[in-house]
Structure 1
């Protein structure tokens, strides 16, 4: 079980390293990180999350 947890942590670390190598320099250079379609998907998800939050607050006593 410990081996599985260690393997998962290594994989997460590798993922963070890849993002650090690719996304951070691109962001510093002022390049867009998402395509136009990706920005639309992110905006849609943000709107749905906000609507769900409003709906949940309205139903919470």
Structure 2
């Protein structure tokens, strides 16, 4: 089970903006977990999916 939940504030371990977890799931047909997150880039919202090991809660 993932340590992340929708609504958690996270940051990429390599740096970057604060993000909010939108979804926690598993890629279809695999056991590989992902975290979907969204952030504001100053002009518009951006989103992407990340491997949980890339993120830390803030």
**What TM-score results when the alignment is normalised by the length of structure 1?**
0.17
Q: Which has the higher contact order (CA 8 A, sep 6+)?
A: 2
Larger Rg: 1
Flag the structure with higher strand content: 2
Q: Which structure: greater helix fraction?
A: 1
